[in-house]
Amino acid sequence: MKKQILVVDDEPAILQLLKLIFSKEYDVVLKGNGYDAMLWLEEANHPDLIILDVEMPYFNGPEFLKSIKVSGLFRDIPVIILSVTEDSDSLYKRTPYVIERFIKKPFDPIKLKKVVNDVLNDVSHEQL
């Protein structure tokens, strides 16, 4: 069974690009905002990795990150942050929650794929 990646981004072009990059190796679920992503998680879904944009409407990246990291069910899911804003780098450094990587947009698809593969292969816990 393929590992599953949840991609949360409000830009349809980014969602489709990430699906294209990862769909051969992984099961990719696309959500356009944190609210829809949280609803999907609450339906008993548990991805192996979340790729999360910071700037989104309807429950942005930092709010979504806080919600999953304080949750007993989702806190161990690795998160990679994707963002175009400079301020996001400071979010990465000051957040009390574990973020596996921070990747600035625009990103190199080959490097992003390597980061995702590294994070998924370095995960030492098994999902329940």
In this structure, the strands spanning 79-83 and 101-104 are: parallel
pLDDT of residue 102: 85
Give residue 44's pLDDT: 94
Residue with tokens 């979504």: 64
Is residue 116 scored above 90 in pLDDT?
A: yes
List of domains in the chain: 4-122 (3.40.50.2300)
Q: What is the pLDDT of residue 83?
A: 82
pLDDT at 125 over 60: no
What contacts 110, CB < 8 A, 6 or more positions away? Answer: none
pTM metric for this prediction: 0.86
pLDDT tens per residue across span 45-85: 999 999 999 888 878 888 888 899 888 889 899 999 988 77
Higher pLDDT pick, 101 / 89: 101
- In percent, how much of the chain has pLDDT > 70? 85
Work out the angle at residue 10's Cα, subtended by the Cα atoms of residues 94 and 35, and round it to the nearest 5 degrees.
75
